[in-house]
């Protein structure tokens, strides 16, 4: 018995020691820190507690990283200072680009995750590579999936690096005004991950199992501030803009339109954790155009939000429901339907406000209100969009949240086609256990419309059990026939769906394969009272190689019942009839080569049956990098349809050459060409950006759209008649008051 008691205390002591090893003590300093990549300051020389002994995440997660990394921290009234040493076995670094917000995969870099509220649900992300190129972003949903990772957020902070023979050093200064935090909390959560292409390893300070995402917030150490944070940083930021544009709509036959406009945003720190953002006459012309896609489904496709105003704390508004049952989709704001042409057109935004952030460690709130301009020709009145949310932390990392969405017509007339109002109320519960063994969510939402539609309910349930060698997931969805979320993204209504997934993982200790898994997934849809409409069954395997390449192969079977006629080729051909059903088998593969190489590729072929015929196709990309100044890429998507009910074979072609050039760390040029046979459109978008000051930019954007004809009609190919053209010059400046 004594031996058991002794062993128990040894285990407790060892666990305490292990826990305390993931702490960084952060002193308050009077000393001036010069960001130069040389750790000459006394605070860096005397710092005794710091992050070290990073552990591998790839190729294995059970050994100390071959190349060491150390992180020290200090702070004063305005900034959090961070000194990072990344030791290497050489200086042949992989630096694909000098452009901000680069992708981490396949390059040398280090990333910091800072969770000021220690809630394991949300964090700020800051990163750099050996050349001092910065990236920042936000982690939401506990980092339990890729949808909670975003680099679209932008803010002010500084970083300088210096390369040595056996390491590179990075020094960062992050203003407390950039962070949202509770000044009474002296212990924040922190982790860091590093991509080291010299040793071909990924490592983290606090170990993260290989079956979890490397940015998972369930595995964090502690930042211990030795004194209270008394930030004297800016409480108000003004971001004005001026813009001049030339627009020509040749297709509509309207004369050229030359405009000059001004507007801007303002940020107010209500508290250290709660922020008020205002915008007046916002303009988003500098936002990169969407990548075109080939849509062969019967439903709408969602595109990500890229507009800066909507991005900070975006999860407070946009993470309710599922991706395809979302009660609030911010891209609905600023776009209306022109009933005369049945097309979506841009709708000017007068302005708006967003109040978002933390009230305390347990409560988050969000309030968004935007006002859009009347579009008389489209039959649309002035519209107010209001979203209110609240979220309460439960347990270690879970939360419960409520949302209210209101789309309200203002001063409408009898000729307006928009309903007077459309509303959604909802409740979500998000689950994430401490180690992420269990994760998921459930929700119930109700829409409220003028005509008081019945069965206006949407419900979903998602639960994942994630062990090292086994993953099991159950998901079901129900969307009533009367559910109408006009400011949301709802792919379809009037259905019930179930979707279980199972995966089994293997981790070979030798050979070229680093990890593999076998998977089986199933999807089935029913329309209440009518029966089964869709069924997907798929099985296959995926391989992750030690050289960073990947391969997956999937064999699937589909069943589809068409309640309405549908053209499966997406080419405006003769549709298949309504009330018809189809069973077919197909084979798909996906190969991604090592993206750390100068030449890389992603190849996704498809072959097999398709409705009552056959389909052959492939999509992917080929990329060549000229390090570190840019890359040339060709994105493609080709489909050939051999359908017996049509007189001839049909095809769709999507080609997207892209050129990214980084002249310096502050001057960039992106040229993006897209030829899409499905929309019979060729788009050219060229964007020049000069970041002349922190978070301040000059943009010059040139866009063309051409009618490019029908590839299946020899008499109607490639005439390239100009549809519309625009040239925009815009300057923004971030001013801290």
Which comes out higher in pLDDT, residue 605 or 305?
Answer: 605
Average pLDDT of span 506-527 = 95
Position 722 confidence tier, pLDDT thresholds 50, 70, 90 = confident
Q: What is the pLDDT of residues 12-32, one digit of tens each?
A: 333 333 334 799 999 999 999
Distance CA 16, CA 473 (A): 34
Confidence check: pLDDT of 329 > 60 = yes
pLDDT tier for residue 601 given thresholds of 50, 70 and 90: very high
pLDDT for residue 79 is more than 50: yes
CA distance 728 to 215: 37
Instruction: Give pLDDT tens digits for 168-214.
Output: 999 999 999 888 887 778 899 999 999 999 999 999 999 999 999 99
Q: Domain limits of the chain?
A: 22-225
CA atoms within 13 A on the CB side of 248: 11
Query: What is the reported pLDDT for 536?
Result: 97
Percentage of the chain beyond pLDDT 90 is 65
Long-range contacts of 334-340 (CB under 8 A, 24+ apart): 334/284, 334/372, 336/372, 336/375, 336/378, 336/380, 336/383, 336/418, 337/378, 337/380, 338/375, 338/377, 338/378, 339/378, 339/379, 339/417, 340/377, 340/378, 340/379
In the prediction, which pLDDT does 454 show? 86
* Assigned token pair, 656: 């997207």
- pLDDT surpassing 80 at residue 471: yes
pLDDT confidence of residue 416? 58
Q: What is the pLDDT of residue 14?
A: 36
Query: In this structure, how many other beta carbons lie within 10 angstroms of the beta carbon of residue 256?
Result: 11
Query: Side-chain half-sphere of 473: how many Cα atoms within 13 Å?
Result: 20
Separation of alpha carbons 136 and 37, rounded Å? 19
CATH pick for 22-225 out of 3.20.20.70, 1.10.150.20, 2.40.50.140, 2.60.40.1190: 2.60.40.1190
Angle at 658 between CA 654 and CA 659, to 5 degrees: 165
368 or 11, which is more confident? Answer: 368
| 3 state DSSP class of 450 | coil
The closest of 704, 703, 654 to 680, measured between CA atoms, is 654
**Separation between Cα atoms, residue 477 and residue 525, nearest integer Å:** 9
Q: Which residue has the higher pLDDT, 10 or 392?
A: 392
The neighbour count for residue 353, using CB atoms within 10 Å, is 16
pLDDT at 403 > cutoff 50: yes
- Where are the extended beta strands (E) located within 185-329? 187-196, 201-204, 221-225, 236-249, 257-269, 274-280, 325-326
pLDDT band at 11 (very low <50, low <70, confident <90, very high): very low
Q: What's the pLDDT band for 389 if we cut at 50, 70, 90?
A: very high
Residue 1: what pLDDT?
Answer: 42
The whole-number pLDDT of residue 311 equals 77
Model confidence over 33-68: pLDDT tens digits? 999 999 999 999 887 778 889 999 999 998 999 999
Read off the pLDDT of each residue in 253-271 and give the average, rounded to a whole number. 89
What pLDDT score does 4 carry?
A: 37
Q: What is the pLDDT of residue 186?
A: 83
120, 134, 209, 231 from 183: Cα distances, Å: 18, 26, 32, 8
Section 271-297 average pLDDT: 80
Average pLDDT, the chain: 89
If you average pLDDT over residues 457-468, what whole number do you get? Answer: 96
Residue 342 pLDDT exceeds 70: no
């Amino acid at each position: 018995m004594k031996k058991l008691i002794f062993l128990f205390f040894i285990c407790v002591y060892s666990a305490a020691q292990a826990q305390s090893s993931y702490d960084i003590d952060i002193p308050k300093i009077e000393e001036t820190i010069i960001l130069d990549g040389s750790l000459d300051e006394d605070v860096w020389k005397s710092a005794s507690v710091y992050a070290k002994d990073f552990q591998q995440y790839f190729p294995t997660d059970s050994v100390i990283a071959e190349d060491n990394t150390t992180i020290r921290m200090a702070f004063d009234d305005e900034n959090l200072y961070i000194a990072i040493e990344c030791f290497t076995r050489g200086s042949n670094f992989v630096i694909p680009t000098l452009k901000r917000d680069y992708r981490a995969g396949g390059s040398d870099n280090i990333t910091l995750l800072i969770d000021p509220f220690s809630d394991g649900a949300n964090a700020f992300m800051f990163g750099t590579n050996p050349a001092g190129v910065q990236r920042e972003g936000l982690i939401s949903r506990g980092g339990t999936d890729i949808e909670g990772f975003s680099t679209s957020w932008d803010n002010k902070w500084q970083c300088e690096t210096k390369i040595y023979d056996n390491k590179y050093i990075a020094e960062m200064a992050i203003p407390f005004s950039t962070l949202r935090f509770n000044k009474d909390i002296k212990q924040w959560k922190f982790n860091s991950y590093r991509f080291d292409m010299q040793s071909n390893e990924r490592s983290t300070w606090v170990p993260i199992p290989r079956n979890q995402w490397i940015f998972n917030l369930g595995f964090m150490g502690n930042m211990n501030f030795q004194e209270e944070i008394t930030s004297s940083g800016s409480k108000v930021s003004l971001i004005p803009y001026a813009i001049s544009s030339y627009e020509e709509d040749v297709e509509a036959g309207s004369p050229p339109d030359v405009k000059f406009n001004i507007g801007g945003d303002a940020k107010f720190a209500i508290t250290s954790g709660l922020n008020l953002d205002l915008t007046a006459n916002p303009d988003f012309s500098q936002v990169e155009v969407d990548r075109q896609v080939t849509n062969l489904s019967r439903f709408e496709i969602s595109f990500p939000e890229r507009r800066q105003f909507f991005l900070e704390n975006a999860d407070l508004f946009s993470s309710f429901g599922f991706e395809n049952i979302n009660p609030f989709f911010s891209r609905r704001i600023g776009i209306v339907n022109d009933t005369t042409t049945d097309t979506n057109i841009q709708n000017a935004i007068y302005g708006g406000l967003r109040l978002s952030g933390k009230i305390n460690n347990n409560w988050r709130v969000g309030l968004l209100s935007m006002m859009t301009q009347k579009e008389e020709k489209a039959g649309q009145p002035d519209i107010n969009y209001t979203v209110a949310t609240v979220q309460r932390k439960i347990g270690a990392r879970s939360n419960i949240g409520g949302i209210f969405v209101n789309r309200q017509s203002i001063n409408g007339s009898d000729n307006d086609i928009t309903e007077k109002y459309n509303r959604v109320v909802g409740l979500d519960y998000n689950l994430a256990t401490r180690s992420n063994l269990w994760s998921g969510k459930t929700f119930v939402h109700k829409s409220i419309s003028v005509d008081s539609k019945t069965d206006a309910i949407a419900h979903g349930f998602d639960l994942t059990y994630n062990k090292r060698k086994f993953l099991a997931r159950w998901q079901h969805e129900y969307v009533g026939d009367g559910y109408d979320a006009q400011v949301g993204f709802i792919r379809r209504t009037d259905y019930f769906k179930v979707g279980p997934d199972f995966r089994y993982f293997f981790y070979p200790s030798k050979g070229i394969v680093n990890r593999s898994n076998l998977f089986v997934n199933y999807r089935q849809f029913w329309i209440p009272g009518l029966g089964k409409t869709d069924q997907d069954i798929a099985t296959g395997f995926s391989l992750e190689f030690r050289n960073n390449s990947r391969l997956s192969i999937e064999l699937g079977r589909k069943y589809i019942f068409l309640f309405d006629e549908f053209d499966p080729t997406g080419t405006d051909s003769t549709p298949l009839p309504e009330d018809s059903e189809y069973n077919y088998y197909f084979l798909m593969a996906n190969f991604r080569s090592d993206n750390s190489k100068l030449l890389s590729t992603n190849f996704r072929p498809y072959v097999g049956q398709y409705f009552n015929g056959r389909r052959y196709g492939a999509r992917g990309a080929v990329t060549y990098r000229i390090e570190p100044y840019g890359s040339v890429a060709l994105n493609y998507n080709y489909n050939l349809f051999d359908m017996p009910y049509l007189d001839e074979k049909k095809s769709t072609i999507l080609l997207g050459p892209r050129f990214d050039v980084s002249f310096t760390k502050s001057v960039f040029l992106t040229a993006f060409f897209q030829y899409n046979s499905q929309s019979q459109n060729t788009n050219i978008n060229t964007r020049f950006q000069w970041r002349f000051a922190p978070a301040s930019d000059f943009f010059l954007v040139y866009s063309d759209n051409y009618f490019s004809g029908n590839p299946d009609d020899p008499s109607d190919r490639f005439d390239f008649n100009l549809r519309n053209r625009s040239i925009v010059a815009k300057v923004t400046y971030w001013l801290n008051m």
